[in-house]
Structure 1
Amino acid sequence: MKTSDTDILIIPGWSGSGPDHWQSRWAAKLSTARVVEQEDWYKPSRHLWADRIVQAVRAATRPVVLVAHSAGVSAVAHAAEHLHPGEVAGAFLVAPASERAKAAIPGMGADFIPHRREVLPFRSVLIASTDDPYCTPDEARALAEAWGSEFVDAGESGHLNAESGHGPWPDGLLRFAGFLRSLTAVPQKPIQG
């Protein structure tokens, strides 16, 4: 599958992704990508954020690939319980937030974390670093296992955001391209109308 074959939905985390964040750069660079906007980037809400994702998925006209970061990964996990098999071709999940994030991020709703611990109804890869301040490697591996996600150890990479030196993140873009190629067997999504 190529980017032109998909609707790429970018799911930022708490505070959204600033202009230097790799998600913002990908949204600007990839012609079929768009950011799923949340009503309040500073108050993650399990139901509101998940609902926005589900709405965006159902409005898409091509196979959907989700690209989530941090609290956006949590939102995807919560949205998954409302998505049916086949609605999403795959999810590229980066730097999940955990109980550490819940304590460190102001305004995070009490229902946002902990995460659902059920297999996601779509293929996924979860990328996490060994020194992320918002999620331990053990927590990230446990989430990948619970969700049925391929796990990728990003080494000492911080929170995989602009602050940790991952503004353009070319290695991530190459890995994302490989992930898309692995989704070739996914059928085309019917056009809504």
Structure 2
Amino acid sequence: MSTIDALLFASILACAGCGTSPAESPPEPQDAGPCAFDFALGSITQGGFESFEPGDKAPVVLGFQGFRFIDAAGRLAGIDANGAVFRLRVTVAGHDPITQDSASTLVAGENDALVAEHVQIFFNDMPMVELIGRSASIEARAKVGDCTGDFAVTIALEEGGCMPADDAGAAEDGGDPCADAGL
């Protein structure tokens, strides 16, 4: 084999991998990750929604049927929906955690946020005397479709009075609506 033949043969071998490459497939779409929105628990005041801050006092109300609860509210921002589902894990100092699920309709709030006006946190298995003056750690998750918002805070529980049985503020039997409140 001559030098020219050897060079020609080497060139052919070198270009064996040459040529047009197959069209590159488009990259896989990136997973957008979890859908999240801003969420806070708090209360509705005359000034609007106020988020619970660590150490805030929250009134525990005795309902007219004996239910003990905080009448909280939820604020959701960065999401568009008519309703949300809430999961609350509440730990009162000295007690086992309680997990509660609820759903609420959302209404328009300030700054394009949505508000769940009543996200009630129940303490029905604990006597009122074991609630007042103690701290409660709350881990809350709001869910709208596949999107979630998380919030956690530790608040102080205080006496919130009683919820009357009717708009006139009287119990159905005419007695004191707080008669069996254990306050």
TM exceeding 0.5: no
TM-score between the two structures when normalised by the length of structure 2: 0.24
TM-score between the two structures when normalised by the length of structure 1: 0.23
Asked which structure has the greater CA Rg, the reply is 2
Question: Going by fraction, where is strand more abundant, 1 or 2?
Answer: 2
Question: Going by fraction, where is helix more abundant, 1 or 2?
Answer: 1
